[in-house]
Amino acid sequence: MIIATLHSVVLLIACSAMFGNSSSLLTRKAHFPLAGHRAEMRTQAAKYRIFCVNGKIEIDTRDINEMKAARGDQVCELDSFGSLTEARIASKRRGGVGAPCACK
């Protein structure tokens, strides 16, 4: 019981030191530049790609090497987009996911 109370007091003091006072806890955004940068890099790197896999259209976020490792050598990338919606629209112009396709 004493340890749990001591832990709560230490946590409260640490939060007060980080944020100034308790009212700022609700209004102040925490700033973690490295965490935000990493998340931004993942978002930028994530592309939705249209592949022809074994003669059928698929949409995936993996790159060509990852797809070949997972699905075999009969894989080619047909196009890539920044959003899933764009990739779905483009795949529908080719017949949609599951439609026949050919690698050139």
Q: What string of pLDDT tens digits covers the 104 residues of the chain?
A: 555 444 454 444 444 444 454 444 444 444 444 444 444 444 455 699 999 999 999 999 999 999 999 999 999 999 999 999 999 999 999 999 999 999 98
What's the half-sphere exposure (Cβ side, CA atoms, 13 Å) at 11? 6
User: What pLDDT shows up at residue 46?
Assistant: 63
Please report which helix (H) or strand (E) contains residue 104, including its range.
Answer: none
The verdict on residue 103 lying in a domain is: no
Q: In what order do the strands lie in the sheet with 75-81?
A: 56-60, 48-53, 75-81
The verdict on residue 77 lying in a domain is: yes
Count: domains in the chain: 1
The verdict on residue 40 lying in a domain is: no
User: What pLDDT shows up at residue 2?
Assistant: 52
The verdict on residue 85 lying in a domain is: yes
**What is the model's pTM?**
0.57
The verdict on residue 35 lying in a domain is: no
Q: Domain of 65?
A: 46-93
